[in-house]
Homo-oligomer: A and B are copies of this chain.
Amino acid sequence: MSNNREKNIEKFAEMFKALSNPNRLKIFLRLISCCVPGVITHIKDSVESEECACVGDLGKDLGIVPSTISHYIKELRQAGLINMERQGQKVECSIAPETLIALKSFFSS
């Protein structure tokens, strides 16, 4: 139905809005390079390797205060681009694999 297509357009527009801020885009790209479920994880600069990136990690590199990072990440999640899961004190973030697939095919279909 055409209504469905309408809804998809709204949804993709929402995703693109979430990615329209350079810092949010950087966060998203970083998660793509290290935190796609089912993909070998990235070894960090430090002595330790990490499975995934928590909210604080994502902010450190970008020099952004925690409240702003938290807000960014919420927007990425609301757009369906990432998943979040509390792990103790931290909240781990990862790419939403099905959304990434949808984006991959969006411009090719």
Report A's interface with B, CB cutoff 8 A.
Answer: 9-10, 12-14, 16-17, 19-22, 25-26, 29, 32, 100, 103-104, 107-108
- Whether A19 and B22, one on each chain, are in contact in the complex, defined by CB atoms closer than 8 angstroms, is no
- Whether B16 and A25, one on each chain, are in contact in the complex, defined by CB atoms closer than 8 angstroms, is yes
- Whether B21 and A13, one on each chain, are in contact in the complex, defined by CB atoms closer than 8 angstroms, is yes
Q: Determine the chain B residues whose CB is within 8 A of the CB of A108 once the complex forms.
A: 104
Q: How many copies of the shown chain assemble into the complex?
A: 2
- Whether B9 and A20, one on each chain, are in contact in the complex, defined by CB atoms closer than 8 angstroms, is no
- Whether A19 and B13, one on each chain, are in contact in the complex, defined by CB atoms closer than 8 angstroms, is yes
Residue in A12, A16, A108 whose Cβ sees the most chain B Cβ within 10 Å: A16
Among B10, B22, B29, B107, contact of A104 (Cβ-Cβ < 8 Å) = B107
Chain B residue nearest to A109 (CB atoms) is: B32
A25–B14 Cα gap in the complex (Å)? Answer: 11
Among B10, B14, B16, B107, contact of A17 (Cβ-Cβ < 8 Å) = B16
